[in-house]
Amino acid sequence: SIVFIAIGMVMLMQDQGGVVLLGGVSVAFFGMSGVYCAYRMLVPKPAVILTADAFYDQASLGAAGRVLWSEVEEIKVYDMMGQSFLGVKVADPEEFLARCPGWKRSLMSANRAFVDTQINIPKVGIRGSLEQVAQEMLGHWERAKSQHN
């Protein structure tokens, strides 16, 4: 976060309007992310909570919150730009995004250009192995699907 804030600060000092705007967005976004990370260090809570009917994503500033297993279409672990993520694809992305607050919807929509999953949980928010959490999520999801059939 600090590196991106520094880059954003340099961009803010440029004469080109587009570069200045991008620098402002960078400073604001990564600044808020840094504050959120510091808060999470001081007030820790589980990044992901699994229940019989849903999972709760609390891993990041743009966390999805409660997601019903019936909404899930795919669960996978992937790497992007040297970081590992746990990705969850929902069956109806438009409906899912419509119930998110505007700023969170914008953040999740921006990710569409890079990944095909709407929910992206970073490894840094998870204690232990992402693969283990993915397996636990897959187990809960499979049980929920079998109960609804």
Domain boundaries, the chain: 2-42, 48-148
> What pLDDT, in 10s, does the model give residues 46-83?
889 999 999 999 988 778 999 999 999 999 999 987 88
Half-sphere exposure of 57 (CA within 13 A, CB side): 22
Q: Long-range contacts of range 53-59, CB-CB < 8 Å, 24 or more positions apart?
A: 53/144, 55/137, 55/140, 57/88, 57/119, 57/121, 59/121, 59/122, 59/125, 59/126
Neighbours of 67 (CB within 10 A): 17
Segments in the chain below pLDDT 70: 1, 4, 32, 35-37, 39-43, 149
pLDDT on residue 149: 62
pTM comes to: 0.72
Rg (alpha carbons) of the chain, rounded to whole number: 17
